[in-house]
Structure 1
Amino acid sequence: MDRKLIKVYIFLLVAFIAVFPLVRYKDILITDIADSFTQLINHKIQDITMGMTHCPPSDNQRTKKPLSPNKAKIIFVLDDNWESQYTFAFQVLKRRNFPATIAVIPSKVNQPDYMSLSQLQDVYRNGWDLVNHTFDHKNLSTLDREEQSDQIMRGTAWLNSKCFTQASNIVVYPYGAFNSSTIQVLAEKKYRGARSLIEGFEKNQPYTTYQAKVQNLTTPVTTEQVKDWIDEAIQNKKTLIFVNHRFADQTVDPTSMIYDKTRFVEVVNYLAEVQDKVQVITYSEWLDNEQQIRPSHPN
């Protein structure tokens, strides 16, 4: 048989194999494509409308607390909106009239063991900050730039949609992970600040806005250690950012994310004893009163 004819037959056979499924299952394929496109459009519409909710002026504007340059600043940041942050920590701090900040994961709200929307509304009404912990708490350093932007922007959009606007443009990195792309996204979108898990203290000014340092109150940390940190902040007039996750009575915790309730009460009581030398504030209050210096690139 002529080779050219053979090539024609082969071409027709390949074309038939490729085209037949499209013809045979065209209705199914068209339906799947239409469904996927519809879901994409709905997702984008939801993201846009979440950021457009009208909020009462009282929710958008709070009286700024003047800060003394001669006092240490103490900021409690409670990550992940665990339920014990409301049922325990909120009650302890409220008795001393101390505010705190919760890093909210929107996808966890109203889920078992996590705070409900009404609980978040309650702490917000009491002067607490609700900051952006990204929408799904994914490790940002493992995502490309577009995915990072999506996680960060959706977190802010959700907070705004619930009228939690006071600190929605402040980010807490999931797992403390970020990279140069993260910094670029935050700078381009004009985010006010971001908190890492790098250990240390923050000076009153200047400070690196997108890499704020912390002291992590993990399971092994004793009350005496925390008091030493507070004393150092007082002596050097520093800002001390505490990180907490879950609270429970004395327990074995391999994750080190649970802080003992008794120790937390002792820490709060100690702050009450030295409150003439410290100011317990929220994250946005810190940024409101300090001269910000935004980095052009990560240090």
Structure 2
Amino acid sequence: MDKKLVIVYAVLISSFLIAYPFMKSSASYLSESKPQNNLVQTTNCKNLQSKVQTPQEIQKNKNKANIIFTMDDGWETQFTKGFKILKDNDVKGSIAVIPSKIGTEGYMSLSQLNTLYRSGWDLMNHTNTHRHLASLKKQEQKSELNDARKWLDQHCFTRASNIAVYPYGSFNQDTLKTLQEEHYRSARTIKDGIQTNNIKKYEVRTINLLPSTDISWVKDQIDLAIKTKQSIVFTNHRFEKKADKAQMNFDPEKFKTIVNYVVSKKDELNILTYSEWLDLKEIK
């Protein structure tokens, strides 16, 4: 081999041997400092873990009435007013989330949803863009539901992402088939009434709290649920004192009165999130 080439090779090898420890150290540093998506996701989800009742804890109260407070759409007043009222009474609720609305005017922020979830609240699936499901083709319905479920899961809100709430109460046979095929746990309608113990898992009834709702009547329904050991799933939208054109708001003071009445009867009933209620009903 040419003597000059031998010298060049010798210089290159020497340079590599000198630089290698620093290259290794640098590579190690970059590897350690580079975010790992799976690790970040796991860490974030751990930070969002909250105290929820175990099936064993719920089992003790199985033979009682059940009260579930749900709120639709993720309006900001549900956080600033509804959440505060329930939190002051050490009660958890369940919010039906529309992912495409989060962070827009009048709706909750992602940070507020994080606070709710850490506090033990359920974040349920209200579809991705809140369209009338019955007006859509089956594949479109599937996308609306599963896109919302995916968003909730990606943000670590996994506890109730497979519990659907129908926008406008709209659903049809294609919806029911889709929910069955995609293994959703339950779906809530806007059909009024106490939910009997004979539950149709995708047609759960509710009592809608509207400006015209009489508080004395609500108290009577709570007493009836206690007597018959049945369930009431309450539904709210915006919390505002003055009724709007859509009649979808509720006076927060009236809501406080209802919550106080429920809490006063806590020895005779369970106050649960929607997923806790399902856990109770699925216990054999």
TM-score (ref. length: structure 2): 0.80
8 Å Cα contact 1:59-1:165 kept in structure 2: no
Displacement over 2 Å in runs of 4+:
53-63
Specify which of 260, 265, 290 is matched with residue 256 of structure 2: 265
Structure 1, residues 5-63: CA drift from partner, whole Å, max 9, x if none? Answer: xxxxxxxxxxxxxxxxxxxxxxxxxxxxxxxxxxxxxxxxxxxx9xxx54645757854
- Kindly state the Cα deviation for residue 229 of structure 1 after the two structures are TM-superposed: 1.1
Kindly tell me the number of residue pairs found equivalent between the two proteins.
240
Secondary structure in 2 matching 1:209? coil
Separation of aligned partners in 2, 1:235 and 1:192: 27
Correspondence for 2:232: 240
Correspondence for 1:83: 76
Q: Identify the range of structure 1 (121-130 vs 64-73) with the bigger mean alpha-carbon deviation.
A: 64-73
Correspondence for 2:195: 202
8 Å Cα contact 2:193-2:207 kept in structure 1: yes
Separation of aligned partners in 2, 1:252 and 1:155: 30
8 Å Cα contact 1:78-1:85 kept in structure 2: yes
Unmatched 5+ residue regions in structure 1? Answer: 1-48, 294-299
Question: 2:229 corresponds to which letter in structure 1?
Answer: K
- Kindly state the Cα deviation for residue 201 of structure 1 after the two structures are TM-superposed: 1.6
Separation of aligned partners in 2, 1:253 and 1:220: 12
Separation of aligned partners in 1, 2:220 and 2:168: 25
Separation of aligned partners in 1, 2:169 and 2:203: 9
Q: Identify the range of structure 1 (176-185 vs 63-72) with the bigger mean alpha-carbon deviation.
A: 63-72
Alignment of 1:8-27 (within 5 A): none
Correspondence for 2:144: 151
- Kindly state the Cα deviation for residue 223 of structure 1 after the two structures are TM-superposed: 1.3
TM-score (ref. length: structure 1): 0.76
Correspondence for 2:159: 166
- Kindly state the Cα deviation for residue 289 of structure 1 after the two structures are TM-superposed: 1.4
1:114 and 2:107 correspond: yes
Correspondence for 2:278: 287
Secondary structure in 1 matching 2:271? strand
Q: What is the percent sequence identity of the aligned residues?
A: 41
Separation of aligned partners in 1, 2:63 and 2:53: 21
Separation of aligned partners in 2, 1:126 and 1:193: 22
Question: 2:71 corresponds to which letter in structure 1?
Answer: L
Secondary structure in 2 matching 1:181? helix
Secondary structure in 2 matching 1:99? coil
RMSD of aligned alpha carbons = 1.9
8 Å Cα contact 1:59-1:166 kept in structure 2: no
1:253 and 2:220 correspond: no
